[in-house]
Amino acid sequence: MKGPVTTESLRRSIETSPPMDLGGYTLAFRPDNRNGSSFGDITMLASGGKFAQ
């Protein structure tokens, strides 16, 4: 992104970026779809501070 960071410049940068692979989890934003991903998951924090799916 060039120039000052504004709401508009950040939105434009994200929407024109290629899909991002975050280790098997892909994020993709477009002007007509700002969901980022259609994946959903529930994770709980178990006793002792461990994650449980």
Strand locations in 1-53, DSSP E?
Answer: 20-21, 26-30, 33-36, 44-45, 51-52
For range 1-20, the mean pLDDT? 87
| 7 pLDDT tier (thresholds 50, 70, 90) | very high
Domain ranges of the chain: 1-36
Among 1-10, 20-29, 31-40, which is the least confidently predicted range? 31-40
- β-bridge pairing 33-36 and 26-30: antiparallel
The whole model's pTM is what? 0.50
The set of residues, in sequence order, having a beta carbon less than 8 Å from that of 42 and lying 6+ positions away, is: 53
